[in-house]
A and B are shown apart, each in its own frame.
Chain A
């Protein structure tokens, strides 16, 4: 009885203990970038040789009893189970540890790749041993980082090829993890800057990926430009508290907005920006051709800039996802927005069909695979939909007050469903029959002003729930 209890406890403890991260190796080449699992055998790290070579050319393997014959393009190799050496094009090669065969799969010690691969591929390879990152040929992506002394200051990072890292934020730090990019360290792994807000950044590598961590005394926000070759990291502006003019400046207390008769002072955003404004399309993606000369991407950017200004005029912090003619994928937009944790995300579209404006919230698929704190990518918006609809209704109300047609509709429109905060999209059509009206300053200002007023009215609701 006692033994069975101990055994049960041991099983439960083992099950409850955190699982160790699976070891992986990343391979970067001109043909493909990929990663594979690394296995611990006999005190060494092993990797499947066939899997390494498969994306790089024509490869076949034939196990025969204790032998394993491999052919890659025109190169033949013969491996023998439990032997520390192999024959490659008739020549002996030392593997450094025993060759293993598991269910017909040939495993070679990880360090032996720097001996084997040049002979198979006919070119140099570089292996970062500790981080398990293998570079085949001249594929490295380099980067530079420099502080731009603007207000607020920003760190501009230029990469020699487009990158798309995973971005995560935590208090005082922004981390960019590069798994698919053959990023190599700069001259020194610790970069220091002459700036109090962003004093330093560090480069590190582990388990098949590279990471750049940027330290800051404030919350950081990353935006992409130059087709993914430039990442600009800047501090997210904070919103100044606004006082309800109707109530007057009697007190600076923290009464809730719903308390009748008391001054309404909304809580100051500690770190996050209030609104992220997304001028849809951009760069190579022109969006709809509104006329022979007018592309949707240009109209959306012009209106997005006006909305930002209108929000700033109301004391609300706002940022543009793109402030130029930049190509951004939907995933890049989502990653940036979700990392910034704004109170609201507003995506701007323009159209030649119809009149006035349409305000969209997400039409979500019914399947929701969210588990605990991990949100399902396709339905990340589900927990925020009521807030999005409230913000959309507020914006529609302000537009109608300015005699601008506004309809509220759901739509299967990415990236609304991927956004983990209140999210809405507005499609702006001309007020009359002439498409030229879409570019008129008066119309764009009227729309921008109404949108900003609508969001400002919904601010209490958006930030309370945020």
Chain B
């Protein structure tokens, strides 16, 4: 015959296990309910130490079909190449905001910027930047002009800009704007001055 105290002890332990199980089930359901529908895929910028500097970002606006200059203060490293990368990452940071006037696909990133003498800058973007880019002459033109103008305005001496995707050349950004040739900075500046007027 099982002693009475043993039956009571086992019953209490079973009740405790059942209670903890029900509580965990409840907590799990609540966690699922508060989880966001999609995660933020924006790249996490590495922490940069040092004082902030003022830069000029040329920000595109799809609704108006324009590009406007916008000042920003961002921490910039000393190296020219790293500065170029940080300036473009600051610009992409604006475009990756869901409320941006010119949205780039989630996960878009500038992998590297190479500064090649004399005056050639090579921007290497990741695949998400081009694969998910919206297709259209104006919308692609705005992206390219914004990148080229922002880079050349903040890094002196750049006369040509080439855009690669994952280290290789693409025919077009998203079916329209040609990426096979380098962009002449003076010609793009002239184009940007026309894009600064909505008419």
A351 touches B177 (CB 8 A): no
Are A378 and B181 CB-contacts (below 8 A) given A353-B134, A409-B191, A427-B136?
yes
> What's the nearest-Cβ distance from chain A to residue B131, in Å?
14
Residues of A within 8 A of B75 (CB): none
Q: Is residue A285 contacting chain B, with contact meaning CB distance below 8 A?
A: yes
Q: Mark B145-186, 1 if CB is under 8 A from A, else 0.
A: 000000000000000000000000000101111101111101
Residues of A within 8 A of B178 (CB): 412-414, 417
Q: Is residue A93 contacting chain B, with contact meaning CB distance below 8 A?
A: no
Residues of B within 8 A of A288 (CB): 134-136, 174-175
Q: Mark A414-450, 1 if CB is under 8 A from B, else 0.
A: 1001000000010101000000000000000000000
Residues of A within 8 A of B137 (CB): 349, 351, 358, 360, 411, 413, 425, 427
Q: Is residue A354 contacting chain B, with contact meaning CB distance below 8 A?
A: yes
Q: Is residue B139 contacting chain A, with contact meaning CB distance below 8 A?
A: yes
B175 touches A412 (CB 8 A): no
Tell me the bound Cα distance from A288 to B177 in angstroms: 13
Residues of B within 8 A of A234 (CB): none
Chain A's closest residue to B148 (CB) is A412
Q: Is residue B113 contacting chain A, with contact meaning CB distance below 8 A?
A: no
B139 touches A351 (CB 8 A): yes
**Cβ 8 A contact of B187, one of A287, A363, A427:** A363
Tell me the bound Cα distance from A360 to B194 in angstroms: 12
Residues of B within 8 A of A365 (CB): 181-184, 187
Are A411 and B141 CB-contacts (below 8 A) given A353-B134, A378-B181?
yes
Q: Mark A161-173, 1 if CB is under 8 A from B, else 0.
A: 0000000000000
Q: Is residue A296 contacting chain B, with contact meaning CB distance below 8 A?
A: yes
> What's the nearest-Cβ distance from chain B to residue A357, in Å?
10
Residues of B within 8 A of A98 (CB): none
Q: Is residue A256 contacting chain B, with contact meaning CB distance below 8 A?
A: no
Tell me the bound Cα distance from A425 to B176 in angstroms: 11
Chain B's closest residue to A288 (CB) is B135
> What's the nearest-Cβ distance from chain B to residue A294, in Å?
13
Q: Give the size category of B's interface with A.
A: 20 to 34
A412 touches B181 (CB 8 A): yes
Are A285 and B175 CB-contacts (below 8 A) given A363-B191, A364-B187?
yes
Q: Is residue A289 contacting chain B, with contact meaning CB distance below 8 A?
A: yes
B138 touches A353 (CB 8 A): yes
Q: Is residue B65 contacting chain A, with contact meaning CB distance below 8 A?
A: yes
Tell me the bound Cα distance from A354 to B140 in angstroms: 13
Q: Is residue B144 contacting chain A, with contact meaning CB distance below 8 A?
A: yes
Are A366 and B184 CB-contacts (below 8 A) given A349-B137, A425-B137?
yes
Tell me the bound Cα distance from A358 to B141 in angstroms: 12
Tell me the bound Cα distance from A288 to B195 in angstroms: 22
Tell me the bound Cα distance from A273 to B51 in angstroms: 63
Tell me the bound Cα distance from A285 to B175 in angstroms: 9
Are A351 and B136 CB-contacts (below 8 A) given A287-B175, A363-B187, A409-B191?
yes
Residues of B within 8 A of A410 (CB): 187, 190-191, 194
Chain A's closest residue to B184 (CB) is A366
- Residue picked from B63, B135, B199, most chain A C-beta under 10 Å: B135
Q: Told that A360-B137, A411-B177, A413-B176 touch, could you supply 9 new A-B pairs with CB distance under 8 A?
A: A281-B175, A349-B136, A353-B138, A354-B138, A358-B65, A365-B181, A408-B194, A410-B194, A427-B137
Can you pick out 20 interface pairs between chain A and chain B where the beta carbons lie within 8 Å of each other?
Answer: A287-B135, A288-B135, A349-B176, A351-B139, A353-B65, A353-B134, A353-B136, A354-B138, A360-B137, A365-B182, A408-B194, A409-B138, A412-B141, A412-B183, A413-B176, A414-B172, A414-B178, A414-B180, A425-B137, A427-B138
